[in-house]
Structure 1
Amino acid sequence: MRAYYFDNQPGDQRLAHDSSRPVDAETLKNLKVESWHMPVTEGFEEKLNAIASERGYKNRDVITVSKEGLGDQYEEKIKAFYEEHIHEDEEIRYILSGGGFFDVRQAFTDAWIRLAVSAGDLLVIPAGIYHRFTVDKRNMTQAVRLFKDEPKWSAIYRGAKSDANTHRVEYLKSVAAAA
């Protein structure tokens, strides 16, 4: 995974939008964003299972974000994924193939940090952080999604309701304490 500040230039969201300003591991740690790289080779399931067990994840599914995988819902889903939102659970994804970008808002500066992911990257985005996702120019990402309970994807889009959300408030307190 590669992390850098988003360039905020207009244009296709699937392009790199690389500002040439890298983001270091300490900045991501302070934002409570975690990542690992585990090549998608024989035995990766054991490592993934160990992480899932350690973090209390009981369920998983595989999602293919592509025109073929989502059919008529592709454009609608891509727009929904790219709209700024939070979740009340951490979002954990292990990329099996393809690639994409998770953008996370840096607390207190509101700058976008772009996380370029590809096969073998495992990313944990904490509950309460504003973020969005898009595929890259390959138009395909296949990922394992891990869940503590039943598989769900429930977004709370940015606004007064999300700003007052308990998980958002707790997230901000946790990153303020780390600063």
Structure 2
Amino acid sequence: MACAETLKGKLGMEAWYIQKSDEDQRLPHHCNPKQYVSLDKLRELGILYWHLNPQDYENDEELRKIRENRGYNYMDLLDLCPEKVENYEQKLKNFFTEHIHADEEIRYCLQGSGYFDVRDKNDRWIRIWIKEGDMIVLPAGIYHRFTLDTTNYIKLMRLFIGEPVWTCYNRPQEEHPARKQYVDNLSRIEGQGMTVQAH
């Protein structure tokens, strides 16, 4: 099974609570002491995670199965770095503005690394550090943002169901249907004592 059991460990993917800071958004911003977050905690927020083989993504049977099972029929590749993106610093600031989407956000890191920040049930930021081989799915309606880390490079595969819609809805969006559905799902899962599984 490609699913990781822990985020901090052999697969290298880590997640942690961050502290508010005006320093460079590309820094880790750990709390003191550090507060790591488990994969189970992320599952409770509806976040799915796999660790795959980025060296052979075109022939990866596990990736093919995930795409088939979840209906991800659209795919493209995105290089994010100062050399390949016009107005890089401004675009990075835009990605880092807190927002939701009406659909899932699926990202598979093929090279490099970066941070997805998501809000937990108490509105605290959790930083998820994705590296080569990490694939995550953020549910529709979750407040989140993205930034590169200090390496300033990531190559991502973007997946989507149907024709892609990249529209961001900046916070606040409490009345947006996707947000309301997400909050409702969280309440139901919490009430049943269940966690969301990737498989």
Q: TM-score range by the shorter chain?
A: over 0.9
The equivalent of 1:101 in structure 2 is 115
Q: What secondary structure does 1:48 align onto?
A: helix
Provide structure 2 residue ranges, at least 5 long, that are not aligned to the other structure: 1-12, 191-199
Q: Of 62, 66, 84, which residue of structure 2 is paired with 1:51?
A: 66
Provide structure 1 residue ranges, at least 5 long, that are not aligned to the other structure: none
The whole-number CA distance in structure 2 between the counterparts of 1:74 and 1:49 is 32
- Comparing 3-12 with 119-128, greater Cα deviation is found at 3-12
Q: How far apart are 1:151 and its partner, in Å?
A: 2.9
Quick check: which one's helix share is greater? 1
The equivalent of 1:85 in structure 2 is 99
User: 8 Å contact 1:163–1:169 — kept in the other structure?
Assistant: yes
User: 8 Å contact 2:18–2:127 — kept in the other structure?
Assistant: yes
| Structure 1 residues 63 and 152, CA gap change in structure 2 (3 angstroms) | farther
Structure 1 segments of 4 or more deviating over 6 A? Answer: none
Is 1:163 equivalent to 2:177 in the alignment?
no
Q: For 1:16-165, what aligned pairs fall within 5 Å after superposition? A: 16-19=28-31, 20-42=34-56, 45-70=60-85, 72-107=86-121, 109-159=122-172, 162-165=173-176
- Comparing 58-67 with 43-52, greater Cα deviation is found at 43-52
Counterpart amino acid of 1:125?
L
Task: Give CA-to-partner distance per residue, 1:77-117, whole Å, 9 cap, x none.
Answer: 2111100000011000000111000000112x100000001
User: 8 Å contact 1:61–1:151 — kept in the other structure?
Assistant: no
Q: TM-score, normalised by structure 2?
A: 0.84
Identical positions, percent: 40
- Comparing 133-142 with 20-29, greater Cα deviation is found at 20-29
- Comparing 35-44 with 112-121, greater Cα deviation is found at 35-44
Number of aligned residue pairs: give it: 175
Q: What secondary structure does 1:77 align onto?
A: helix
